[in-house]
Amino acid sequence: MADDDVLLEVRGVSKSFGGVHAVNDCSFVVRRGSLTGLIGPNGAGKSTTVELISGFQPADSGKIVFDGKEIQRLPAHAVSRLGLIRTFQTPREWKHLTTLENVLIAAPDHSRERLWRSLFARRGLAAAEAADRARARDLLEEFGLFNVRNELAGNLSGGQKRLLEFARIAMARPRMVLLDEPQSGVNPVLGERMGDAIKAMVADGITVLMVEHHLNFVERVCDIVHVMSLGQCIATGTMAELRMDTTVIDAYLGQAEVRV
């Protein structure tokens, strides 16, 4: 695979917490424009890897390269500004702001957020704000949240909050999205909806790396899948290939329950 095909590279990354090696010399790549899955049994280090890539935790060693730029030392907000945005396992909406405001805040251009501008250049803000609002409304409509746009986000149902996460991501126009278990605790109907949204993202040119436990879902939507176990990436391939791979089977059989 050509190098400029690779958008994200994780190279020899390690992280331990108080003696426990959560991530242990992990390496894999994510190709531009792909929908890549990241699976593995509990405790494999998937969530920690997400935290490391997105800058919420510093890696102990190794490199993380995003579109040719090393990001392992960058704080979370800096990684996000580069166009790599993550979601969270449980929705993290801004509770006492409205649904619309939640989407508005995700807009990628932050240049209006200056104290000077809020005090002295208000007229210039209004037009840009109106444009963002219009876009936010369109996105809310797309995700079926238009009618609750003036509700406080904290009052939304669980399903609505998850859709709000997608709307926010869409608003942010990222180059790549890190989805952290989007299907966890989600009913099948909503799950379908979210699957469609994820595929639409990829169709729009956004690269997706998705951590997931629901292997059927992964099989349906992912181009390629990495398997992690005990902090390392142990295999890569399509789900069909991986189902036959003995190292993968061993890793999963070590678990009490396999949701396949």
Partner 1 sequence: MIDYVVSTLTLGAIWCVFTYALNVTWGWTGQLDLAVFMFVALGAYVYSVVCGPPANAALGITWILGLRLPFFVGLLAAMVVTGLVGLLVGGIALRRLRDDYFAITTVVTTLTVYAVIAQFQPLFNGFTGIYGVPQPLAAFLNLPPTLYGIFLFGYVLVVLAIVIAVMYAIFHSPYGRRMRAVREDEKAAAAFGRDVYAVKLQAYVIAAVVAGLGGALMGAFLTAFNSYAWQVGETFLIYAAIFVGGSGSIRGVLLGTFFIAVLVQEVTRLLVVIPGNAYAGDALRYMIVGLLIIAVLWWRPQGLIPEPRDHDDATRLPEPGPAPSAVQHG
Q: Which of 17, 70, 73, 147 binds partner 1 (CB under 8 A)?
A: 147
Q: How far is the CB of 19 from partner 1 (least distance, A)?
A: 22
CA gap 116, 126 in Å, rounded = 15
| Comparison of 108 and 205: residue with beta carbon closer to partner 1 | 108
Interface of this chain with partner 1, residues 103 to 142, rule: CB under 8 A:
104-106, 108, 110, 112-115, 117-119, 122, 125, 129, 133, 137, 141
CA gap 153, 101 in Å, rounded = 9
Contact 239, 248 (CB under 8 A): no
Should residue 72 be labelled a site residue for partner 1 when binding is judged by CB under 8 A? no
Element (H, E) at 69: strand 69-70
Contact 98, 153 (CB under 8 A): yes
Contact 224, 31 (CB under 8 A): yes
Q: How far is the CB of 191 from partner 1 (least distance, A)?
A: 9
Q: What mask of x and - would describe binding to partner 1 in positions 178 to 217, judged by CB under 8 A?
A: --------xx-xx--x------------------------
Q: How far is the CB of 247 from partner 1 (least distance, A)?
A: 33
CA gap 138, 169 in Å, rounded = 14
Q: Structure tokens of 72?
A: 């392992």
Q: Determine how β-strand 69-70 pairs with β-strand 232-237.
A: unpaired
Q: How far is the CB of 125 from partner 1 (least distance, A)?
A: 7
CA gap 184, 176 in Å, rounded = 21
| Comparison of 49 and 87: residue with beta carbon closer to partner 1 | 87
Rg value, the chain, Cα: 19
Binding site for partner 1 (CB under 8 A): 54, 56, 75-77, 80-81, 85-88, 92-98, 100-101, 104-106, 108, 110, 112-115, 117-119, 122, 125, 129, 133, 137, 141, 144-150, 152, 157-160, 163, 168, 172, 186-187, 189-190, 193
